[in-house]
Chains A and B, each alone.
Chain A
Amino acid sequence: MESLLEQYANVVGNEVIDHLRQLTNPLKGMKILHINSTKEGGGVAEILNRLIPLKKELGIDAEWEIIKGEKDFYQCTKKMHNSLQGNRDDISPSLLSVYEKTNQQNCDRLRDKLREADIVFIHDPQPAALLRSCKERKGKWLWRCHIDVSHPYRPVWKYLRQYIKDYDASIWSLSGFVQQLAHPQYLIPPSIDPLSEKNIDLPKKEISDFLNSWGIRKDIPLLTQVSRFDRFKDPVGVIQSYRLIKDYVPVQLVLAGGGASDDPEGQEVLGEVKAFAGKDPDIHILELPPDAHRQINALQRGSDIIIQKSLKEGFGLTVTEGLWKGKPVIGGNTGGIKLQVIDHYCGFRVSTPEGAAMRIRYLMKHPGTMKRMGKNARQFVLDNYLITRQLREYLTLVVGLLFGSKEKIELKLPV
């Protein structure tokens, strides 16, 4: 059986894997620990699910732990998440107290690992306060921010900054997301895993079986948005776009949402979306469990156009997934989507439901353009947004920390 690295080499080429091996050489024997708040649901968990085995196969002692909390903790961190993305959402002192206590408890539970690790990656705000609780740490601690903090609600950012500023460095997806801090700040866009259930090639029959099971017709084009039921993803705006298209050409829409265990608002938004969709038989609202990766894969592959009309977006991995499947993507002109959807090259960026409708109608009228954009999309992801590139940059960052601020780092092939 092929090793994981061999399987990736089949997709990205041997040279990319050689680079990973060279970067790993100086890191042999180091303990690298990743901490986030959920093992399933959401892009962070998906990437960590594969990054950790890859690092292990490269010879790094990598581990992944999650912090655990009660309902109030997740309510607090959801508010933090929304506030950091710009919502004016005050967090009560009692909820902040839950946040601090939960981090302290998790630090006590994970103390040995936190203390021993050479490099600790802390993902997003949920576990950010661990650092202050772990006074006897010996390694370098890095805060990895996956969201757009360009216009945060200031009181919440001010609160969180007191923890973040003490990290040795922070990592951001885009320069536009960054809040100024005194420590080194790195830019590493996220990525997708081409070998995951969500992205591997699927037999045509499996795709059509899934579509049939959801009652999706084969005779009219399919538009799909896959994302959590979250107001920032603007699912209602997507339905508005669909209605503006439907008046001119037959089309069907799927809004598919997977829940994440750290998102208590999902059900509320789902209710709003269902009410807005009404009884239109060509709107399919699919509530998929967090592990419905193959179904989402089939859905994206069976679609003609992928939509991700977010109003705010950290990065939007569903955009990359859609591009990887060779589909043009209509994306909201925000956050990381600006890096991924290159206007007129692999899709279009839009600012309104009207804009999305206009671009989709244009593509449906020009199937040749749609095909060309889909081809560009696949190559674009191959070159820039696969997990091997992200891993290379994480490893480079760690090597960079070891080598200090030298302008050039020269690596050698493993002997």
Chain B
Amino acid sequence: MHPHFDDPEFQNDFAVWASRYLHDPKISEQLAIIDPNIFNDIEDLRNEIIEIVEERLSESEYVPWVKHGHEFHFIRSQIVIFDTGVVYTDPKDLLDVIPKMSLGSIFFHFIDSRRRTVGHRNDFSLWLAGFNGKHQGLIESLDNIDPSFTTLNELRQEIDKVFKNYFKVNV
């Protein structure tokens, strides 16, 4: 549980740690820009992180260090997926639902989805694609949302805005 209140300047724990505790802006910037969605699997992602770290080490005159107590702690996570019991068949019905969606649901359908779907898409766009091109404009707007550099709460607002704009135009 790592609540963030500042603008999420850095997108992953490695970059945050490198910035706050190693005080090495170069490596924190390089780590921050990594987009995990462009890698085919976790091994490729791991190799990319190692590559950045090794490159930085090779150009450093000394091995950077942190004070005791500020070490990086590796944490493994296990995702638990709950059944909300909520099912909709008409995209328009989501207008009422999205503002009330839990942040966990936003994470699952908009961010986690990119790891488990072909083409690294969000669940909404994939579902809408099943309507035979009827909602192509909405799909494009959703695909254009960059889920990085924002909080889940702001992301929910952004998705909500896209739905509202689309259905207002198409009523």
User: Do A and B bind?
Assistant: yes
What is the interface of chain A, defined by CB distance below 8 A to chain B? 15, 18-19, 22-23, 150, 175-176, 178, 187, 189, 339, 342, 345, 380, 383-384, 396, 399-400, 405-413
Whether A411 contacts B80 by the Cβ 8 Å rule is: yes
A412 touches B69 (CB 8 A): no
Show 28 residue pairs from A and B whose CB-CB distance is below 8 angstroms, ordered by the A residue. Answer: A15-B102, A18-B84, A19-B82, A22-B82, A150-B69, A175-B73, A175-B75, A176-B69, A176-B73, A178-B73, A187-B75, A342-B5, A380-B3, A396-B78, A396-B80, A399-B80, A400-B80, A405-B78, A407-B78, A408-B79, A408-B80, A409-B78, A409-B79, A409-B81, A411-B80, A411-B81, A411-B82, A411-B83
Residue-wise, chain B 67-105 has the 8 Å CB interface mask toward A (1 for contact) of 001000101001111111100000000000000001000
Give Cα A383 to B2, complex, Å: 12
B1 at the binding interface (Cβ < 8 Å): yes
Binding site for A on B (CB under 8 A): 1, 3, 5, 69, 73, 75, 78-85, 102
Give the 7 A-B residue pairs with the shortest CB-CB distance, closest first.
A175-B73, A410-B81, A413-B83, A408-B79, A409-B80, A413-B85, A412-B83
Minimum CB–CB distance from B78 to chain A (whole Å) comes to 5
A175-B73, A176-B73, A187-B75 known; A345+B5 contact, CB < 8 A: yes
Q: Which residues of A contact B78 (CB under 8 A)?
A: 396, 400, 405-409
Chain B residues near A412 (CB-CB < 8 A): 83
Q: Is the CB of B81 within 8 A of A383?
A: no
Give chain B residues whose Cβ lies under 8 Å from the Cβ of A411: 80-83
B84 touches A23 (CB 8 A): no
Do A22 and B83 touch across chains, with their CB atoms under 8 A apart?
yes
Q: Which residues of B contact A178 (CB under 8 A)?
A: 73
Bound form: Cα–Cα A23–B81 in Å: 10
Residue of A nearest to B77 (CB): A407
Asked if residues A407 and B79 are in contact (CB atoms below 8 Å), the reply is: yes
How far, in whole Å, are A195 and B102 apart by their CA atoms in the complex?
A: 23
* Known interface pairs A406-B78, A408-B78; A342-B3 also in contact (CB < 8 Å): yes
